[in-house]
Structure 1
Amino acid sequence: MLARGVCRHLLGHGFVTVEEFVPASGLRVDVMALGPKGEIWVIECKSSRADFTSDRKWQGYLDYCDRYFWAVDDAFPLDLLPEETGVIIADGYDAEIVTMAPETKLPGARRKVMLQKFARHAALRWHKARDPAINLSSA
């Protein structure tokens, strides 16, 4: 539900999003967003303290985005979140960026790879939505 609110909010700012995106083997981000100027944001959704404290991979996502955010609900203890990241308060219907994440520009070669993966991921999702019986295992 948090991801849906985040995606809705970001669309209002000109970003398109994909959920459950794999930037590299062994990593899966909740939301990857592509901005109108080509910026790439990663948003990890956390529903509870336990969900946050069990996440051991989040720092690995920093190499695949220009900005990194946590999306949490309004009851989440914000003092748990690292200061060097952004914060989005969300629910199933909308969201609000309460702390802008610092920007760390991706290197050009990494950006190109991420843009290609993003486009491919989005296209494959569209194929699956349009034709649920299609086999995408070889794609």
Structure 2
Amino acid sequence: MTPFSARVASARDARPDATRSVTRGARRYLRACGFSVICEAPLPNGCRADLVALASDGVLRIVEVKSSYADFRADLKWPRYREYCDRFYFAIPVDLDPAPFPPDAGLILADAHGAMQLRDAPVFPLAPARRRAMLLRFASLAADRYCALAFGDELAN
């Protein structure tokens, strides 16, 4: 392997680790704040949210994890997540400059051990019918995943 291809392979291998670390830290932060959290949740529009967090009052947050600027620039679907949550956030590594991320989205800085909220997201309340549909989706997905873990049910998502 040439030195250039070794650097490319190294950067490619590091990205999943960075994404995993940011996801873990953001999830731990949300849980510490009292949210119930589901990872990799399919949405009705065919997208898949990295994290969906449910507060005790029924408020839904979606957190999109971005491990690099290239990851952010390549993803054109994140605006479609906003229609399924009350608040939308990006979670990024602590060493990434937050300036390029849209100011109308919340921002969470995270590593594998935890996170902190840098910027709160504006509230765009879901319509009652959409909220009900998302709460049912959240509950169903959580129940299916619980059964898969507890009973080895291979039919669960």
Q: Same fold (TM over 0.5)?
A: yes
What is the distance in 2 between the residues matched to 1:44 and 1:77?
Answer: 16
Amino acid at match of 1:61: Y
The range that moved more, 104-113 or 24-33, is 24-33
Q: Which residue does 2:115 correspond to in 1? A: 95
Q: Which has the larger radius of gyration?
A: 2
What is the distance in 1 between the residues matched to 2:131 and 2:45?
Answer: 17
Q: Deviation at 1:8?
A: 1.1
Secondary structure class of the residue paired with 1:79: coil
Q: Deviation at 1:18?
A: 0.1
Structural mapping, 1:7-22, within 5 Å = 7-22=27-42
Q: Which residue does 2:13 correspond to in 1? A: none
Give structure 1 regions of 4+ aligned residues with deviation exceeding 6 angstroms.
none
Report the structure, 1 or 2, having the larger helix content.
Answer: 2
Question: For each residue in 1:88-133, what CA deviation from the matched residue of structure 2 results, as whole angstroms up to 9, or x when unmatched?
Answer: 001111110110000000000000000000001111111111233x
| Contact 1:7–1:16 under 8 Å retained in 2 | no
TM-score by length of 2: 0.83
Aligned sequence identity (%):
36
What is the distance in 2 between the residues matched to 1:25 and 1:107?
Answer: 16
Q: Which residue does 1:131 correspond to in 2? A: 151
Structural mapping, 1:1-139, within 5 Å = 1-132=21-152, 134-136=153-155
Query: Structure 2: 5+ residue runs without aligned partners?
Result: 1-20
| Contact 1:49–1:77 under 8 Å retained in 2 | no
Number of residues of Structure 1 aligned to a counterpart in Structure 2: 137
| Contact 1:43–1:68 under 8 Å retained in 2 | yes
Q: Which has the higher contact order (CA 8 A, sep 6+)?
A: 1
TM-score by length of 1: 0.94
| Root-mean-square deviation over aligned CA pairs | 1.3
